[in-house]
Amino acid sequence: MSNSEVIVQPAATVMLLRDTDHGLEVFMLRRVANAAFAAGMYVFPGGRLDGTDGEGHDAYLVAAVRECFEECGVLLAVDAEGCMVADGHPALQHREGVHAGTVDIRALAADHGLLLALDQLPWVAHWVTPKGEAARRFDTRFFMIASPTGQSSHHDDTETVASMWVRPEEGLRQWAAGEIGLMPPTLACLRELSRHTDVAAAMAWGRSVGTPPCILPKLRLSPEGKVHGLSFPGDDDYDTID
């Protein structure tokens, strides 16, 4: 199968946000250097949907919650009083089981009298991997949420090897200086987050988005077939590229 024929897999990712004395911060993870996709890049917690996530848009929401728990240990779930889970809650002991696929995250929540916080995750961006760029392609929905104040975040040391809370402006500065690697969707999300002074403002924007446009970049190729950039919807050459 050629790269242009690679099956596009549905995926979900979530931006965890928090307020600090220095302004809004977002949680990011660095993927392992030998990853099949986005190797060594800084990303938001996320991954592809699996068969346990359900169907329709809710499947993306469940996948975002599941991947967040797997990759950074934060369980986006509320108790009967509507309060987010905090460190020490017994449900948090099952991170490895969810990661291994032996524990279903919705069943885990139900067993502990919790509800996954799906209604607190506005859908704010939608990106599809360009044809020909990689052996894996994803149709990814990006969500955002205020990170639970009572939970700690830790990268999994399996798919990710480092993590940081960072102001969006600082993440963009580090990328511009060549200190970290970022993919175009991550860059776009950081640029949007940099417009907001705090979590409340960012979430207000997120809830106003509705259904975001699907962005499918296209590869710009030289006459020799080498990639020399990306074309985005609205660029002069976008419609001329297959």
Question: What average pLDDT does range 152-172 have in this prediction?
Answer: 88
Per-residue pLDDT tens over the stretch 82-139: 999 999 999 999 999 999 999 999 999 999 999 999 999 999 999 999 988 667 899 9
Label residue 158 by pLDDT band (50, 70, 90): confident
Label residue 160 by pLDDT band (50, 70, 90): confident
Q: Where are the domains of the chain?
A: 3-215
In sequence order, what are the beta bridge partners of 123? Answer: 143
Cα separation, 147 vs 136, whole angstroms? 29
In CATH terms, the fold of domain 3-215 is Nucleoside Triphosphate Pyrophosphohydrolase (3.90.79)
**Residue-level pLDDT at 153:** 86
Mean of the per-residue pLDDT values for the chain? 92
**Residue-level pLDDT at 1:** 42
Question: Would the pLDDT of 52 be above 70?
Answer: yes
**Residue-level pLDDT at 33:** 66
**Residue-level pLDDT at 189:** 98
Question: Would the pLDDT of 209 be above 50?
Answer: yes
Question: What average pLDDT does range 217-232 have in this prediction?
Answer: 86
Question: Would the pLDDT of 78 be above 90?
Answer: yes
25-34, 35-44, 111-120: range with highest mean pLDDT: 111-120
Question: What average pLDDT does range 48-63 have in this prediction?
Answer: 94
